[in-house]
Amino acid sequence: MTALSKNRRLSGSRPASLLAQLVTGRTKNRHLMGWLLASPLALVLLVFLVLPIVMIVIVSFWGATEFSIYPAFQWDNYQFLLTSPVTYKVFLNTFKYAVLTWAFTLTIGFTVAYFLAFHVRSLTWQIALFLLCTIPFWTSNIIRMISWIPFLGRNGIANSTLMSMGVIDEPLDWLLYSDFSVILAFVHLYTLFMVVPIFNTMMRIDRSLIEAAYDSGATGWQTLTNVIIPLCKPGIMIGSIFVVTLVMGDFITVRFMSGSQSANVGRLISNDIGLLQYPSAAATAVILLITVLMVIGILLRFVDIRKEL
Amino acid sequence: MTEATKTGLSRRSLLKGAAAGVAASAFPAPMIWAQNIKDVTLRQFGTGVSNINEVAQKVKEDLGFTLEMTALDSDAVTQRAATQPKSFDIADIEYWICKKVWPTGNLQGMDVSKIRNYDKIVGIFKDGKLTPDSTIAQGTSPNSVGFTDGPDGTRFADQETGWMTLIPTIYNADTLGIRPDLIGRPIDSWAELLNPEFKGKASLLDISAIGIMDAAMVCEAMGEITYGNKGNMTRDEIDRTLAIMTEAKKAGQFRAFWKTFDESVNLMASGEVVIQSMWSPAITAVKSRGIPCVYQPLKEGYRAWGGGIGLSKNLSGLELDAAYEYINWYLDGWVGGFLMRQGYYSAVPETSKNYMTENEWGYWFEGKPATEVITNPYGDAMAQPGETRDGGSFEERMGHIACWNAVMDENQYMVRKWNEFIAA
């Protein structure tokens, strides 16, 4: 923008100058180039992100019979959704999972990242340990989740170990098919999404700042709360956005780990799809999308990621 | 075993010769037909139970054309039959799905005069009665959606018309599965599912159309609700049924709900659950791991289901002829024997007898004690000599059906209420 106005001024002061024409021409070219360079991504996003979302919004107003959907403009889907007490209960449950998972992944993720960034001194070890964290991600999400089931079951490893140690007399039923197992699986699955961005911001903290804090007589805790955490905010925010959106959009973890006994919004949508109620599923998806965007909006009020990065 | 297969094959070729003779008089150019049929590919899709690769291989061997199979869950099957008529030639669906899908006009009626074994098809699929004096059970009974007015009919006929919507393939009577070793006492009623004795050790399947039926069987057995028709409940009946189930769920009666076959097997085999809704092959799968599991006959009767194959509207000419040939082959006994050795029943049991040993026929169909080890088609031992099948003979099991899997008039209401129950 500033370049353009400068050029304008230039061409204004020497109207007939060949040079000026050349310069403006080049600027135009540069503009064109910019648009061209941005267009592949814009096109991809348009076709694979914007269009499907528009489609979902449109379908959410359609009507459905048991085996077909028909174009219409009606508020029935939203009316049913927003007046059903089940919807509120399920959304509340979804938030509960999101908040608990967020709290645990943040605590664990921050601790792991802190250890990697500040306690491990050599870069080689840092990289080696970081890669170690990613090893579980070499197998599929579902396998990592399902492997908890035999571990936590009534006759599973956890219960039989505790019983042989004499800690408990009866197997603990709440270990599996409960909110506990759902949160456990979520934390297991998504902690790395917290570790990576926090570790990344920690590594970019100028070490002399910490030395300065130390020299000024700050205790370790004061350094942590006044220097490190504020500087890690962008990483924490990015990690939080990852975790919150992943948990709020999930349906399979909740289904398997709760033994289908609990529901979240994702399961409502998947049930509707299974029963061919696409418009109703689309309406739920739209409401979920709005909710998640609102949550992210609130998160972004705390940190200006654009500025901090 | 190889001996038996060989004789089977030669009998088969004899039959084929006879069929070719009939075909020669019926079709104007039998030679061209015989040549071209090798190029035909029929696309079949359906639920996992009968979409078995062995069947496709045998079709290639016996009939020469290619059968492509796709196995999906029952929701996906309904969806595909209703919304993508061009994506399949043969739909292998259940009768209650047929009730949903047939009005879309995506399937065509089948001329029974082209079905050689039509007269031998079990009465359940024709007039609805196993024997002349049996009563028709509640729910979507196969005879109520089995016939239509003509090749283009979109409505169901009340009696045999000569045009079938689906050719019945397999069916069975479902009940509760139990772990006798962990329960340690006889179980004889559906009401036991909600018995507080099994708190945290019961399970129900989370497929609304079938789950609601099991729930209704339980509520009726408990004496809480008397239904007009369990297969077509009123809103009030649905509310009351799910109120009882929700109360039980909140009290911690259920360990989990299952949606897929494997889940039900794992719940039972791991001992998480000792009593639950189950399907026959799931019992088999638990047993083949050496864990005792019984498909417990209950005094209130069974919840039955039946499947059949329907022809796509888009089939015509050579492909349609090949499809009829496939159906005739299906009812001819080999497939029936294959499926009956897994615990299902075939629509024309007497032809399957030719493909089973006397011991197998006695165990699976007549409810007699096994004389030697019974194996399934894959060679796993299913029963030891002296054991009898849970529930006894064909007549005893299929004669005690309380209800067929169904689609209700209030289906959409029921589904919403079911979702509330799951989310409660």
Assess A67–B contact: CB distance below 8 Å, yes or no: yes
To the nearest whole Å, the CA of B420 is away from the closest chain A CA by 6
Is B133 a member of any domain? yes
Model confidence pLDDT, tens digit, residues B74-124: 778 888 888 888 899 999 999 988 988 888 889 999 999 999 999 889 888
Is A77 a member of any domain? no
A114's torsion region: left (phi>0), alpha (psi -120 to 50) or beta? alpha
What mean pLDDT, rounded, does chain B reach? 86
Whether this model's ipTM surpasses 0.90 comes out as no
Assess A26–B contact: CB distance below 8 Å, yes or no: no
Q: Is A134 found in the same domain as A39?
A: no
Which member of A89, A150, A274 has the closest CB to residue B75? A274
Q: Is A127 found in the same domain as A255?
A: yes
pLDDT at residue number B20 = 47
| Chosen from B106, B272, B413, B414 to mutate, greatest number of chain A CBs within 10 A | B272
pLDDT at residue number B180 = 94
Give how many domains chain B has, as a whole number: 2
Res. B21: pLDDT tops 60: no
Assess A89–B contact: CB distance below 8 Å, yes or no: yes
Assess A150–B contact: CB distance below 8 Å, yes or no: yes
Q: Are B104 and A149 within 8 A, CB to CB?
A: no
Q: Is B188 found in the same domain as B83?
A: no
Q: Is A120 found in the same domain as A33?
A: no
For A80-96, what is the mean pLDDT? 90
Q: Which residue in A94, A296, A294, A83 sits closest to A179, CA to CA?
A: A94
What mean pLDDT, rounded, does chain A reach? 86
Model confidence pLDDT, tens digit, residues A173-194: 889 999 999 999 999 999 999 9
Point out the least confidently predicted range of A65-79, A97-111, B28-42. B28-42
Strongest mean pLDDT among A164-168, B69-73, B379-383:
A164-168
Assess A147–B contact: CB distance below 8 Å, yes or no: no
Is A265 a member of any domain? yes
Model confidence pLDDT, tens digit, residues A14-44: 445 555 555 555 666 778 888 899 999 999 9
**CATH number, residue A149:** 1.10.3720.10
Q: Is B322 found in the same domain as B207?
A: no
The 3-state DSSP class for residue B148 equals strand
Residues of chain B in contact with residue A89, where contact means CB-CB under 8 angstroms, are 423
The answer for residues whose C-beta is within 8 angstroms of residue A27's C-beta and 6 or more apart is A3, A4, A7
Q: Is A229 found in the same domain as A124?
A: yes
Which member of A90, A149, A277 has the closest CB to residue B423? A90
Q: Is A266 found in the same domain as A126?
A: yes
Cα(A150)–Cα(A173) distance, integer angstroms: 13
Question: Does residue B392 contact residue B302 with C-beta atoms inside 8 Å?
Answer: no
**CATH number, residue B271:** 3.40.190.10
CA A143 to each of CA A18, A253, B226, B264, B330: distance values in angstroms, whole numbers, following the listed order? 68, 11, 45, 18, 38
Res. A259: pLDDT tops 70: yes
Q: Which residue in A241, A213, A243, A232 sits closest to A101, CA to CA?
A: A243
Question: Does residue B381 contact residue B373 with C-beta atoms inside 8 Å?
Answer: yes
Q: Is B71 found in the same domain as B32?
A: yes
Q: Calculate what percentage of chain B has a pLDDT beyond 90.
A: 44
Cα(B268)–Cα(B275) distance, integer angstroms: 8
Q: Which residue in B161, B136, B137 sits closest to B147, CA to CA?
A: B161
Is B369 a member of any domain? no
Cα(B342)–Cα(B374) distance, integer angstroms: 10
Question: Does residue A102 contact residue A240 with C-beta atoms inside 8 Å?
Answer: yes
pTM: 0.78
For B329-347, what is the mean pLDDT? 89
The answer for residues whose C-beta is within 8 angstroms of residue B101's C-beta and 6 or more apart is A67, B78, B81, B82, B91, B93, B107
Q: Is B245 found in the same domain as B280?
A: yes
Q: Is A108 found in the same domain as A37?
A: no
In degrees and rounded to multiples of 5, residue B69 shows phi and psi of: -115, 140
Q: Which residues pair with B303 in a beta bridge?
A: B174, B403
Which member of A153, A268, A271 has the closest CB to residue B270? A153
pLDDT at residue number B2 = 38
Give me the residues of A, 240-259, that contact B with CB < 8 A. 255, 258-259
CB atoms within 10 A of CB B392: 15
The 3-state DSSP class for residue B131 equals coil
Q: Is A89 found in the same domain as A40?
A: no
Model confidence pLDDT, tens digit, residues B26-75: 444 444 455 677 788 999 998 766 777 888 899 998 888 899 988 887 77
Is A279 a member of any domain? yes
Is B58 a member of any domain? yes
The one-letter amino acid at A140: S
Cα(A274)–Cα(A267) distance, integer angstroms: 10
Model confidence pLDDT, tens digit, residues B224-276: 999 999 989 999 999 999 999 999 999 999 999 998 888 899 999 999 999 99
Q: Is B242 found in the same domain as B189?
A: yes
Q: Is B75 found in the same domain as B48?
A: yes
pLDDT at residue number A13 = 45
Res. B6: pLDDT tops 50: no
For B193-215, what is the mean pLDDT? 92
A4's torsion region: left (phi>0), alpha (psi -120 to 50) or beta? alpha
Q: Is B71 found in the same domain as B43?
A: yes
Res. B24: pLDDT tops 80: no
DSSP string, A178-213: SHHHHHHHHHHHHHHHHHHHHHHHHHTS-HHHHHHH
To the nearest whole Å, the CA of A45 is away from the closest chain B CA by 29
Res. A8: pLDDT tops 50: no
Question: Does residue A288 contact residue A87 with C-beta atoms inside 8 Å?
Answer: no
DSSP string, B195-224: -GGGTTSEEEE--HHHHHHHHHHHHHHHTS
Q: Is B349 found in the same domain as B219?
A: no
Q: Is B159 found in the same domain as B194?
A: no
Interface A-B, measured as beta-carbon pairs within 8 A, has a size of: 83
Assess A86–B contact: CB distance below 8 Å, yes or no: yes
Q: Is B145 found in the same domain as B63?
A: yes
Could you list the residue range(s) of the whole structural domain that residue B413 is in? 176-300+393-423
- List residues in chain B touching A: CB distance below 8 A: 75-76, 78-79, 82-83, 100-101, 103-104, 200, 203, 206, 208, 249, 254-259, 266-267, 270-272, 407, 411-412, 415-416, 419-420, 422-424
pLDDT at residue number B165 = 93
pLDDT at residue number B75 = 75
CA A229 to each of CA A36, A133, A198, A243, A302: distance values in angstroms, whole numbers, following the listed order? 40, 22, 10, 19, 13
Q: Is A167 found in the same domain as A37?
A: no
Could you list the residue range(s) of the whole structural domain that residue A24 is in? 2-44
Q: Which residues pair with B204 in a beta bridge?
A: B257
Q: Is A37 found in the same domain as A113?
A: no
Q: Is B221 found in the same domain as B129?
A: no
Band (B11; pLDDT cuts 50, 70, 90): very low
Question: Does residue B205 contact residue B214 with C-beta atoms inside 8 Å?
Answer: yes
Give how many domains chain A has, as a whole number: 2
Is A73 a member of any domain? no
Q: Is A131 found in the same domain as A274?
A: yes
Q: Are A260 and B101 within 8 A, CB to CB?
A: no
Q: Which residues pair with B306 in a beta bridge?
A: B171
Cα(B191)–Cα(B217) distance, integer angstroms: 8
Cα(B132)–Cα(A33) distance, integer angstroms: 84
Res. B18: pLDDT tops 80: no
Q: Both tokens of residue A22?
A: 């050349």
Q: Is A109 found in the same domain as A23?
A: no
Residues of chain B in contact with residue A177, where contact means CB-CB under 8 angstroms, are 255-256, 272
Q: Is B255 found in the same domain as B197?
A: yes
Angle A279-A284-A285 from CA coordinates, rounded to 5°: 95
CB atoms within 10 A of CB A69: 17
